[in-house]
Structure 1
Amino acid sequence: MARVEQKDYVALRESVLPRVRTVKHFIAGEFMEGTSGAFFESVDPATNEVIATVPAAGPDDIERAVSAALRAFTEGPWPRLPAAERARILRRIAELIRERADEIAVVESADTGIPIAQIRDAQVLRAADNFDFFAEMATKITGESYPVDDLFINFTIRQPVGVAGLITPWNTPFMLETWKVAPCLAAGNTCILKPASWSPLSAYKLAEVIRDAGVPPGVFNLVYGPGERVGEALARHPAVKLISFTGETTTGKRLMHVGAETLKRFSMELGGKSPVVVFADADLDRALDATIFGVFSLNGERCTAGSRLLLQKDIYNDFVDRLVRRVQRIRVGHPLDRATEVGPLIHRKHLERVLRYVEIGQEEGAILATGGRRPEDPELARGNYLLPTVFVDVAPTMRIAQEEIFGPVLSVIPFSTEEEALRIANGVRYGLAAYVWTNDTSRALRMARGIESGMVWVNSQNVRDLRTPFGGMKESGIGREGGVYSFEFYTELKTVHLALGRHRIPRMGADE
């Protein structure tokens, strides 16, 4: 599909959304109605109008999906295809995503409220890159050999595990779905995808792409429904061997509890409260750009958002003044306007939750420097809009500095010394990402080593390298995905001992 110009996104929305008004489960290569008779609604965050009716999977639907995936794994061709053939199909998926990028982006933007420029130009194209990357990785799954003189050669091989349950969040759902589906299929597994109920529609577009790319029936399945019913059913099912979950920490703990009885293998990417630590010797212009982008892009609804800004006292007042002026100029508007930088939050309930944190911050004594309220523009009145919000003079123990808000809210905390900065950075239960700004290389390395997080960016915003491991420490998750590290989760490691000669075998009970 040709690139759509600014003025055509609304028209494209009107032609695309009717095709997803009523979506269906995708099981065994076919779109099909649910058997439970239950439905839920997907709502446009910009207007709070219903844009689609979605089936809620019941026990029979879940069993059909698991059975289809298990059959495809045990009897179908996918796990036994040469890696190069699986890679060819994955590349075809990437091609189709790029061809349909505008259509997918419009559906995702309408369903999530994320600005179209950030969805189309980054998230959807990144999703295509995920499939291309793991197509290449599929041909590079290797083992190691351990020769023992001329007696043995011992070697390892990696094999697919089986049926995977892939449970994804409501923020940037399409990209995060591909982040799980691509390595899962590259390794030869089959899967059931369960998208979040607040943003289910782009998963339907992914199912269409996967079908059209020629993935065999049953290899990829899609079921909708609430996590406490569908997600937990997948975690409980004995035929599902893997659960990859991205979402809230409490939900992740619950899934692990439910799946423990069948000894599930889990990969958990959970909550975050990531610090941005800016020292006085840093490039302050770049640090300011990165801070604003890191917490306010994607409407602040991102797990790696730098939602705590730690500023050294020497630069505190000047940096805060510049920060507040910039944040006040952020363009809040309809997500299909390419000039929009912050759109509406995902759901009315989430808006209410974030607004409650604004109240909590003020009750705790933090200074609300800007934002914290709905826009005055009457055209935005029906949507879940919140002006980008900055709290200053925040104490590290305040709830707004401790708890994941998951919205366009930044807490600014002063510090004096490197030791104090490290103590504040580590003083939360999360440990997903961190950002350090300094021109002192030794300090940068000390901070990178000392901060308790799975990922640290130095003098940079969140720039992903698909070869590197992604994941968190503490209550931000378990396991790593990305690059070869994805295959630590999506493959089973087997050791083969091959005797080359006639080594001595002890004889027991032999005749005299």
Structure 2
Amino acid sequence: MGGAMGEAVHQQGQGAGRPAATVPRQALHFIGGRFVPGKEGRFFTTLNPATNRPLAEVAEGSPDDVDAAVQAARRAFDEGPWPRMLPAERARYLERIADRIEARSEAIARVEVLDTGMPVSQARGQAARAAENFRFFARRIQDLGGHVWQVGDRFVNYVVHKPVGVAGLITPWNTPFMLATWKVAPCLAAGNTCVLKPAEWAPLSAHMLAEIVAEAGLPEGVFNVVHGFGEPAGASLVAHPAVNLISFTGETTTGKAIMANGAATLKRYSFELGGKSPVVIFADADLERAVDAAVFGVFSLNGERCTAGSRLLVEEPVYRDVVEAVARRAARIRIGDPADPRTELGPLIHPEHWRRVMGYVEAGRAEGAELLTGGRRPPGLPPELAGGNYLEATVFAGARPGTRVFQEEIFGPVVVATPFRTEDEAVRLANAVRYGLAAYVWTRDVGRAHRVGQAIDAGMVWLNSQNVRDLRTPFGGMKDSGIGREGGDYSFEFYCERQVIHVALGEHPIPRFGAG
């Protein structure tokens, strides 16, 4: 794989004395093993959310760019060695990618900070997780087995896993590098080829991933990147007849549009969509740990996480104590330069998203919820951050179930609290939204924990825990939170075809039509 990226420029962290991160002046497409500009020569600007100053120019993909990337991936799948390699051979490439991610982990984290506003202490964890994604799926593909059924002495029937073809991978802007690897690693491990379309608000770490893949020496066309907007780049990828799979993480409305757009070509889909996850706290819970988890779960990653516990449902006897404790903690969260390791809450991704989240803050006030803390730009920011997309950690009490702030995904540092009286009411409130991605239940009553956890309509439930991931388990949601599951061997149910081979062991009876 060859080619060169755009000339690099050093972008200093906002605060004095912060280590520099290297950002390309121009982030190009990566097609057929080479960095190339768009066929129409257009670029768009990506911004630093902490300052809203320009970071880099990014190639703007057109349908022709998407077609070139898909055709490169198609040739690599139909004619190249990648899908025909032994799983152990592909695994060695994935391990090389993991090695290079680890070697560049600090640079990846720093670029992610500049491009998304994620606090660097959290970005470092995401970079480490990205390397582990490749190592994990490199191991799993070598252990992947199929079922075997013996039918007496007549037949043996067995299942084999085969790669599907070309995958379109469309990733979000909240944890872009880690979530790209979450899709790319199992996709490539299974023997597919792919075209990655990163989110236009945070495209730079995808450029770094392409550099790493090039260094690892994958065959040309196995991994491709096309930057650009949902229209036309994303839509062209979804509708392309040579694309067999679409894995999308993002907003529910966009997921519905993607499914409709690709319907004519009968693609298979994996969708991880929106969430409005409840944190259910009973009076007998370890309240200190529950508050710790509730605060971390909604305000980490700047509140821009799909599994955020954004609805706090608390049993009435302890409701006021818990909500006020959450509000006190939220008011003390350290807001500032995301390049500073002491920062806990950075800026929102983009001015447009900041306005959207502020619209929900205003809606909460108008709907009669009680604003306990936050809801404004933090005062006292240094001059270099004054133009950034900052919002204080925000806590509303008394959110009624029918209101927008209770029902709709805000995707920012905003949590709403509602009391409940009984176990049944807690479950009704938890299920009273169209989403069903995650849920968190806090109680010392083991039986109740299991009852409530299983009664909540959510793809993932944590009992007495914050969001701690086990890569072997299925990740995904119910209702409007998605279709399908990825993670562990569940990823290969999506990225593989399962073919059954029927083997006759002897001469079983065959009807002889037309024999007379």
Alignment TM class, shorter chain as reference: over 0.9
Letter in 1 for 2:113: S
CA distance in 1, matches of 2:230, 2:447: 45
Any idea what the Cα deviations from partners look like across 1:305-332, whole Å, max 9, x if unmatched? Answer: 0000001110012112222111111000
79-88 or 187-196, which deviates more: 79-88
- Give the equivalent residue in structure 2 for 1:355: 358
> Post-superposition shift, 1:272?
0.2
Q: Where do 1:287-366 residues align within 5 Å? A: 287-366=290-369
Letter in 2 for 1:255: I
Letter in 2 for 1:329: R
Residue-pair matches, total: 503
> Post-superposition shift, 1:10?
2.8
CA distance in 1, matches of 2:220, 2:204: 21
> Post-superposition shift, 1:138?
1.2
- Give the equivalent residue in structure 2 for 1:450: 455
- Give the equivalent residue in structure 2 for 1:81: 85
- Give the equivalent residue in structure 2 for 1:71: 75
- Give the equivalent residue in structure 2 for 1:502: 507
- Give the equivalent residue in structure 2 for 1:11: 19
- Unaligned runs of 5+ residues in structure 1 are none
CA distance in 2, matches of 1:184, 1:162: 10
1:46 matched to 2:50: yes
- Give the equivalent residue in structure 2 for 1:285: 288
Letter in 2 for 1:11: P
- Give the equivalent residue in structure 2 for 1:390: 395
CA distance in 1, matches of 2:79, 2:482: 34
CA distance in 1, matches of 2:52, 2:15: 23
- Unaligned runs of 5+ residues in structure 2 are 1-12
> Post-superposition shift, 1:6?
12
Assess if the C-alpha contact under 8 Å between 1:429 and 1:474 holds in 2.
Answer: yes
Q: Where do 1:6-405 residues align within 5 Å? A: 10-13=18-21, 16-17=22-23, 20-120=24-124, 122-379=125-382, 380-405=385-410
Residue identity over aligned pairs, in percent, reads 62
Assess if the C-alpha contact under 8 Å between 2:275 and 2:437 holds in 1.
Answer: yes
Letter in 2 for 1:446: R
Assess if the C-alpha contact under 8 Å between 1:6 and 1:338 holds in 2.
Answer: no
Letter in 2 for 1:440: D
CA distance in 1, matches of 2:352, 2:270: 28
Evaluate the alpha carbon distance shift between residue 266 and residue 503 of structure 1 in structure 2; reply closer, same or farther with a 3 A threshold.
same
Evaluate the alpha carbon distance shift between residue 320 and residue 356 of structure 1 in structure 2; reply closer, same or farther with a 3 A threshold.
same
**What is the SS of the residue equivalent to 1:466?**
coil
> Post-superposition shift, 1:8?
9.0
Letter in 2 for 1:67: Q
> Post-superposition shift, 1:47?
0.5
**What is the SS of the residue equivalent to 1:10?**
coil
> Post-superposition shift, 1:131?
0.3
CA distance in 2, matches of 1:401, 1:354: 14
CA distance in 2, matches of 1:322, 1:276: 15
Q: 1:420 aligns with which of 418, 425, 438?
A: 425
CA distance in 2, matches of 1:129, 1:424: 36
**What is the SS of the residue equivalent to 1:240?**
coil
**What is the SS of the residue equivalent to 2:27?**
coil
Letter in 2 for 1:50: P
> Post-superposition shift, 1:220?
0.2
> Post-superposition shift, 1:400?
0.3
- Give the equivalent residue in structure 2 for 1:432: 437
Letter in 2 for 1:256: M
130-139 or 58-67, which deviates more: 58-67
**What is the SS of the residue equivalent to 1:336?**
coil
> Post-superposition shift, 1:9?
7.2
1:489 matched to 2:494: yes
CA distance in 1, matches of 2:334, 2:261: 43
Any idea what the Cα deviations from partners look like across 1:447-504, whole Å, max 9, x if unmatched? Answer: 1110000000000000000000000000000000000000000000111111111111
**What is the SS of the residue equivalent to 1:111?**
helix
The 4+ residue runs of structure 1 with deviation greater than 6 A are: 5-9
Evaluate the alpha carbon distance shift between residue 130 and residue 442 of structure 1 in structure 2; reply closer, same or farther with a 3 A threshold.
same
CA distance in 2, matches of 1:314, 1:213: 58
> Post-superposition shift, 1:508?
1.3
Evaluate the alpha carbon distance shift between residue 418 and residue 300 of structure 1 in structure 2; reply closer, same or farther with a 3 A threshold.
same
> Post-superposition shift, 1:225?
0.7
